[in-house]
Chain A
Amino acid sequence: MGLITDQMPPMIEAFPGGPAFLTSLDSIINWARSSSLWPLTFGTSCCAIEVMMAAGAAHHDLARFGAEVARPSPRQADLLVLAGTIVKRMEPRLRTLYDQMAEPKYVIATGACAISGGPFIYNSYSTVRGAHEIIPVDVYVPGCPPRPEAFFYGLLTLQKMIREGETIRKPNERRKPVLANLPPGLTLEQLRKEMIQNLESHSVTKFSDKPTGGF
């Protein structure tokens, strides 16, 4: 974003209705960024298999969201997908990879290990307890490992975040979307009511009932 403000100040100055021009430019740039995320796969353990299934295999087609060009080099990538346990010896390498990526850069942490250390949080001499101790993380995808659908949800959330995010006037400021992909018109209150109804309707179990499955 700094590039644009440096290169185009005369344009911005000369344009009397500045805010309008800037807003539309912002939205175009953010749309372009969000639709062509090039992920750098940082796969250190089992979550990497799941992300490979999401990114590389035909069944869960990641190309639908414009993020299928997985790059092995940080110079060509702008989305760092952390998939797997981060150990102490990996810590400086991860930091180097993050520093080598060009701005703007985004980070998705998938799986319990990259979020908090996961099953290795206690009594471990080597596991870093969460990727946020090393680099800033934009989106967390929980799971052990997460399903490809969960990974897609995280990616769509990040896209939404990029589209509503940085502007020329406020560079390096990102807003995390709350309930990013709720259908329009649905509020949190309605969800909560529906959840309570569901829970209450299933609160009584009759043990004399015969199983309904076709076994």
Chain B
Amino acid sequence: MRFRDHRIAGAILELVERYRAEGADEIVFYDIAASPGGRTVERLWVHCVAQTLDIPFCVAGGIRSLADAEEVLYAGAEKISINSPALENPMLIDVLARRFGSQCIVVGIDSQRTPAGHQAWQFSGDPKRARSSGRSVSEWVREVQNRGAGEIVLNCMGNDGVRAGYDIEHLRHIRSLCRVPLIASGGAGTLTHFRDVFIHAEVDGALAASVFHSGELSIPDLKDYLQSSGIPVRPSVPEAA
């Protein structure tokens, strides 16, 4: 769903178990209302998920300080993803990367197409507070890498939740600026959308939520399809190559 229509996606831990069993390669937990609401993700929740999962697990939502990050990582998350707090205080990226290493610092960027080009959006989780940070996405992508981000998740807001496909053109442009892993987000609706974003935008990963939550696409089907399209993926059920 678009950010303006948040849906509760069922019992989260059950979903986590299901995705793990189906062969998800990484699970990202977004508490997207955390930053606008001035709170941090629930630690206990992170801890419970960490008990269940033996695949990478990233937590996003209102991580504003070294202490916030420490709590989430020590509760068992593999990576933390920061978005609005990084736009408010870019030095946070440097501080976190120095302390924990770039590999666990993901910067999420909500990219909105505007007459002035693509701009990085802030507080996207709250329709009343969502606004442009005034930064161009291209500039911000360069800056966060220089500050030590180890991965970028680019969420194309116009495409998010509408299932009309990833914004290939924009992602391809950002790919050309991005020397760290780039994950596409926003727009996945069909199997071909995933194939196209890997082939044409050369992203390192594709993130999707609603198509999996709703059961419209299954991870094993998606992986079989990608494999048969010549895109190397980790099989849903481990097997020798």
Chains A and B bind each other: no
Residues in chain B within 8 A of chain A (CB atoms): none
